[in-house]
Amino acid sequence: MMLHPLPPKSAEIPSPKRFTYPFCYQPHPLCVMAAQEVREYLQTQPQWAAELKAGKMFGVLVVKPPHSGGRLERGVLAAFSGTLDGKTRHSYFVPPVFDLMEPGCYFQQEQEQISAINVQISFLQTQIKESPLRQQMQNELEAFRLMMQAAKEERHRLRAELSAEELAAREPEMIKQSQYQKAQYKRLQQEWTQRIEADEASSRELRQQMTQLQQERHDRSIALQQWLFQQFSFLNAKGESRNLLELFHDALPPSGAGECCAPRLLQAAYKEGLKPLCMAEFWVGDSPCDELRQEGHFYPACNSRCKPILAHMLQGLLVEDNPLLSQQPQTLEVIYTDPQMAIVVKPHGMLSVPGKEGMPSVQSVVREMFPQAMGPMIVHRLDMDTCGLMVIALTDDMYHQLQEDFRRHKVQKNYRALLEREMPVGQQGEIRLSLRPDIMDRPRQMVDYQHGRTAITYYKVMDNIEGHALVELRPQTGRTHQLRVHCAHPDGLDNPIVGDRLYGKASHHLCLQAYQLIINGRAFTLPSKYKIK
């Protein structure tokens, strides 16, 4: 494992007092320098150029060696997620927590056995052939069914046309005919079944073999998966070790758990007795087609794979507080009120409704501000990172009326946003992308034209301010993070909103505000003191 030096100019930058909170952070200047060093190294590896162009996550961990004796006060570990050039190990980067690809290891041996079973199953599938008699059976039975149907219709005709005396004389014969035909059809089915079973006897034996192989493949795969989960064992700063089964005790670990940058970096540091100081993960290359990643941008650790792992691995370190939980209870400015409703200004960083962490929310604050209010009060929501106007229903009747107004598009919401780059003033149009949650990294959303829900936004570029485009956004649908994704995605404006910690570059806050609500033709506008900046 290679411990890389920081550039000389880093000597002027003090180490952080606390380790990075990996799920929401501003990269420490030391990590920014370290990431640049990694990017420069990658440029010297032309054999990886195509893979890097397609996009990959990398990470850096600044560490303090024990008893350095003045030789190296601080160093850097680097990692990549998954594989690089089809390998899990490269000398510049830390090793994986567990090397799945080590030749001759138990995992590879079992994979070979499972692959061999797959070959046998595929071969048996080519040998199992359906008897040609099945088509003959279908044809003959269908012809018999048509004959029975015609006879039935004839009986119905006779019952309708015959006199009572004639029908009484013919009825026993018609009943006997119906019973005979049904019995004959059943005998015909049985005869064909016996003929086909005899004709497919050899295939039946092959099917039994294939079923046994499929069961063996299933059993081996489950056993190998359980074994693999136990091999991914993670240390923390206290020296304690937990494997994936212990960390994901309520559910099976998701695919790829433990193969991301952050767990690899911390595991390597703990094994070498290095003290972690700060960490960051960054993207290199193009954005994938289904999720938003920007070249050179820093990103938080993913929730589904990494959160349970890092919650364990960070124990024993003095970690920064989650900035999303550090806010103090806030008050809301009310710009309009009457006995039926109120218009309030939601600040950046406040939830619209209560969340899991017990943070202040618009709902909890307006409950205290309007103790006489009846009903749910919250008619619509804004993202936690978005500021701006929200309408609050103070009566149950108004709540249901506003809900219906939103449903029938009688309420218009206009937003303003500052984007990272300038755009031609006056440019306007419609953005139409299909969105769905990224189940592996909530609350992020991803574009999915097959399974996503249609999201439509109208936009217009109003001005350029200090290198940033000021755009007006008018959503026609209300999908989660719709405006943020529509601005950042290459199929949208390809220009992230300033301060977007999920889809762009994090900063002091997201420069997106709901600046106007038009309710049944009446406009409410954000006061000028809330000028976007």
In 369-410, DSSP assigns E strands to: 387-393
Strand-strand pairing, 445-447 and 428-437:
antiparallel
The span from the CA of 502 to the CA of 517, in Å, is 26
Q: What is the DSSP letter of 420?
A: S
Find where tokens 């990272």 sit: 420
Residue 84 is classified by DSSP as B
Establish whether 383 is a catalytic residue.
yes
Of 499, 456, 504, 495, nearest in space to 479 by CA: 456
d(Cα 1, Cα 85) in Å, to the nearest integer? 18
Residue 508: phi and psi, rounded to 5, are -65, -35
How many residues belong to the chain? 533
Q: Is 454 left (phi over 0), alpha (psi -120 to 50) or beta?
A: beta
How are beta strands 411-418 and 453-465 bridged, if at all? unpaired
Could you say which of 219, 383, 385, 463 is catalytic? 383
Cβ atoms of 63 and 273 closer than 8 Å: no
Please return the burial class of 95, using the count of CB atoms within 10 Å of its CB with bins 0-12, 13-18 and 19+.
Answer: middle
DSSP string, 106-131: HHHHHHHHHHHHHHHHHHHHHH----
* Sequential DSSP letters for 249-307: TTSPPPTTTT-SHHHHHHHHHHHTTPEEEEEEEEEESPPPSSS---TT-EEPPPHHHHH
Catalogue the active-site residues: 383
